[in-house]
Chain A
Amino acid sequence: MKLNPLLKLAESLEGLPSDATRSGYGRGVIEAGKNKQVVVLSADLTESCKVDAFQKKYPDRFFLLGVAEQNMMGVAAGLSFTGKIPFVNSFAAFNPGRNFDQLRVSVVMSDANVKVYGGHAGVTVGEDGATHQMLVDLALTRSLPGLIVVIPSDAEEARKATLAIAQKEGPCYLRGGRLKVPTLTTKETPFELGKAEIFVEGTDVTIAACGVLVYEAVLAAQELEKQGISAEVINVHTLQPLDSAALVNSVKKTGCIVTAEEHQINGGLGSAVGEVLSEQHPVPLIRIGMKGFGQSGSGGELLAESGLKAINIVKTVEKLVKKVKS
């Protein structure tokens, strides 16, 4: 199996460096901070969201909001009305979990140029348990018209995505994670908001994944190749606006699709893909995602426990391909 050479991804899947998307986000925020309009707000999760470096470097443009996410979102809206580009930081469980109406009204409906960082998303936050494992943020955010929703798959992509949303006028949501995952993309890998990338080309099945599941999908494609199944892996880093053309083109070739995400199975990537394809080019689809709330454990254990590993994708693809071919 070959990674798409046009994307200048890592040369091999062996020995990749690991990092968390939150770290890439933190580096992106620092870079974005060269623009003096960028300001950073934190609701007592500064280090967790990796904006402590920004705080040190640009103390005059960093604000502590206390444990008050609703106010933080509103303050960010107000700042944007004076030309600032605020980054609003907390865990996804609270941001947008706690302050969804402030996101809806003060930010998105107002077309406020606010950047929302939902950190520690998904089951991979691990030991903190189900209360802190945000698994519905994608359903919430993609329900808001005009909000850009981005789910970087590794730290380097997170850095680029952060710069991209800083430059993009209008409300954006960026989902970050705490678990260190292999960094598959490189400095040279292109990143464009709204443009899905084909990481692996294939002809028998499409696997559309986002976030930490992208790497798992690539591993799955490698395994499937050994069985004679050619899988195409698409990194859908932007959930909204969805790159429907890329998805439609892929399934025209492969004829079936599996989606994989670290999110409730309803309302996230799988739903979004299903909606588009059933309207534009219906093909058999199986969604992989969370079915229920999580529990304590390590991030890696929880991915396995939740059926979100490469092996689960492999089994699902085998089942689907068998069904489609028969």
Chain B
Amino acid sequence: MKKKTSIKELELRANMIRKSVIQMLAEAKSGHTAGSLGMADIFTALYGTFLHYNPKKPTADDRDYLILSCGHICPVLYATLSSSGFFPEKELLTLRKLGSRLQGHPERNCIPGIETTSGPLGQGISQAAGIALGLRLDKKKNKVVCITSDGEHQEGQVWEAALFIAHQKLDIINIIDRNYIQIGGNTEDSVALGSLKEKYDSFGWNTLEIDGNKMEEIVEGLTKAFQSKGPVAIIANTVPGKGVSFMEHDASWHGRAPNPEQAKEALNELTKIEEGLKK
């Protein structure tokens, strides 16, 4: 663990990230809301406490690598990078606009802190594997963290990579956003993923399961994962749309942005949460 930040402080920051996500998406009028909100706690913990980076030298040799494989939830990554000092906050409102550095799906080096191009699902975990392998060849100890989604696990490439990473015993932390939604609804009604924990266990990964919206559990899980060697899968059970009552658990918010009234209501709800946390 690089920095010590209190659970309360992290929770407050995550809430701020959620507010940014709502504002960005409302301004952009399109984009992926549910997954971005659901993963705000984990991104906050990663950048607030665990990852080693220098926003002034985003490609420094000793940085840890955060590979976002499910690129559609990039609003939460952009918001976290900005709040961690990688680029000015006001740029967040350019998301998805012509000429913006904040592309609808992230592109390698489009803005400081973005390591890879993603969006076409299934590719990030292989890239993470290559990075971990390259680092090992150079005898470097940088951490490699990959964020994948549950729907993405219907892609065969993810399992090709999972086999390869286990075989090579690569030092990779794969955090899986297990929110049980994809575009068409519940993942289990589409092509059921079942127990991802059992699957990763049987592939030879060290597997943890956490509540991905409980900051203590996130910090505890990431602490274990950052101390482990070899591949670690963290199945993070998250609530899609977390923090906004009318979005939670509703797959229709997978790829929909709030209209102005909805955004206002969402921000009100998030402000109430903030006030509660400050009490």
Interface positions of A (Cβ within 8 A of B): 39, 60-61, 63, 65-66, 68, 70-84, 86, 101-102, 105-106, 109-111
Contacts and interface: CB of A to CB of B under 8 A. Distances in A.
9 contacts: A60-B137, A63-B133, A70-B126, A71-B160, A77-B127, A79-B131, A81-B130, A102-B157, A105-B123
Q: Which of B130, B157, B164 has most chain A Cβ within 10 Å?
A: B130
A68 B157 CA distance: 8
B107 interface: yes
A74 B107 contact: no
B128 A65 contact: no
Given A74-B123, A101-B120, A109-B117, A79 B107 contact: no
B163 A66 contact: yes
Contacts of B127: 74-75, 77-78, 81, 106
A74 B157 contact: yes
Contacts of B161: 71, 74-75
A66 B117 contact: no
B134 A79 contact: yes
A83 B134 CA distance: 8
B126 A102 contact: yes
Contacts of A75: 126-127, 129-130, 133, 161, 164
B116 A82 contact: no
Contacts of B177: none
Nearest to A82: B134
Contacts of A80: 130, 134
A86 B130 CA distance: 10
Contacts of A78: 126-134
A78 B161 CA distance: 12
A39 B122 CA distance: 23
Contacts of B126: 70-75, 77-78, 102, 106
A234 to B, nearest CB: 36
Contact of B117 (A65, A84, A106): A106
Q: Which of B132, B133, B167 has most chain A Cβ within 10 Å?
A: B133
Contacts of B124: 74
B272 interface: no
Given A71-B164, A75-B164, A78-B131, 18 more contacts: A63-B133, A63-B168, A70-B122, A73-B126, A76-B130, A78-B130, A78-B133, A79-B130, A79-B131, A80-B134, A81-B116, A82-B137, A84-B137, A101-B123, A105-B117, A106-B117, A109-B117, A110-B108
A110 B117 contact: yes
B115 interface: yes
B141 to A, nearest CB: 13
A71 B131 contact: no
Interface in B104-147: 107-108, 115-120, 122-135, 137-138
Q: Which of B127, B128, B160 has most chain A Cβ within 10 Å?
A: B127
A65 B123 contact: no
Contacts of A79: 130-131, 133-134
A270 B107 CA distance: 33
B156 interface: yes
B130 A110 contact: no
Q: Closest 9 interchain pairs by CB?
A: A78-B130, A74-B126, A82-B134, A71-B160, A68-B160, A75-B130, A78-B127, A78-B131, A79-B130
Contacts of A76: 130
Contacts of B134: 78-84
B235 to A, nearest CB: 21
Nearest to B119: A105
Contacts of B132: 78
A70 B129 contact: no
Contacts of B129: 71, 74-75, 78
Contacts of B168: 63
Contacts of A61: 137
B117 A74 contact: no
A325 to B, nearest CB: 52
A117 B255 CA distance: 38
Contacts of B107: 109-110
A82 B156 CA distance: 25
Contacts of B123: 70, 74, 101-102, 105-106
Contact of A82 (B122, B135, B163, B164): B135
Contacts of A84: 134, 137
Interface string B8-43: 000000000000000000000000000000000000
